[in-house]
């Protein structure tokens, strides 16, 4: 069973998140961006992704950071799937060897 308060919370979360999704589109409408804003929009998406990644870089464990460094290295030269495989396997092995 779902209680009314959890239903309310979930509904509120859903509406809030949806509004953030359409917010940028609605703010810009059909307008074109100025060259300055376009330059900003080239840079900002990366800032979003890097901020989402920050917790991985903030890990206090040496094995995790070593695994991350290997993944970063792989990401600069390989496609997504091999990068992922190398990241997962190397991190898993490092954790198994140095618990």
Partner 1 sequence: MVSIKKKGKNFEVVCVLVAERSAGDIHTRMSDTVAPRSALDGGFWPEFLRGMRTSIPVMIGFIPFGLLLGRQAVQQGVSVFSVPLMTGLNYGGGSEFAAVNLWANPLPVVLIIGVTLLINCRHVLMGAALAPWLKEVPRRKALLWLFLMCDETWALSLSDTQKRQKFSVGYYFGIGWCLYGTWVGSTFLGAYLGAKIGDLTRYGFDMAFPAVFLVILRGMWKDHRMSIPWIVSLLVGVVVYRLYPGAWCVPAGTVAGALTAACIVRRVG
Site for partner 1 in 10-69 (CB under 8 A): 10-14, 16-18, 20-25, 27-30, 32-33, 36, 38-58, 60, 65, 67-69
State in angstroms the smallest separation of the CB of 42 from partner 1.
6
When asked if residue 98 is in the footprint of partner 1 (CB under 8 A), the reply is no
Q: Which two tokens stand for residue 21?
A: 């999704």
CA neighbor of 31 nearest in space, from 20, 41, 21:
41
Query: Maximum Cα–Cα distance for the chain, whole Å?
Result: 55
Alpha carbons 35 and 72: distance in angstroms, whole number? 31
State in angstroms the smallest separation of the CB of 90 from partner 1.
7
CA neighbor of 24 nearest in space, from 50, 44, 54, 49:
44
When asked if residue 97 is in the footprint of partner 1 (CB under 8 A), the reply is no
Binding residues for partner 1 restricted to 64-93, rule: CB under 8 A: 65, 67-69, 71-81, 83-84, 86-93
Alpha carbons 97 and 99: distance in angstroms, whole number? 6
State in angstroms the smallest separation of the CB of 43 from partner 1.
4
């Amino acid at each position: 069973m779902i209680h009314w308060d959890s239903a309310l919370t979930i509904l509120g979360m859903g509406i809030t998140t949806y509004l953030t999704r359409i917010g940028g589109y609605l703010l810009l409408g059909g307008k074109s961006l100025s060259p300055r804003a376009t330059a900003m929009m080239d840079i900002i998406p990366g800032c979003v992704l890097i901020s989402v990644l920050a917790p991985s870089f903030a890990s206090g464990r040496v094995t995790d950071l070593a695994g991350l460094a290997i993944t970063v290295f792989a990401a600069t030269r390989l496609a997504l799937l091999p990068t992922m495989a190398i990241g997962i396997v190397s991190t898993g092995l490092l954790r198994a060897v140095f618990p």
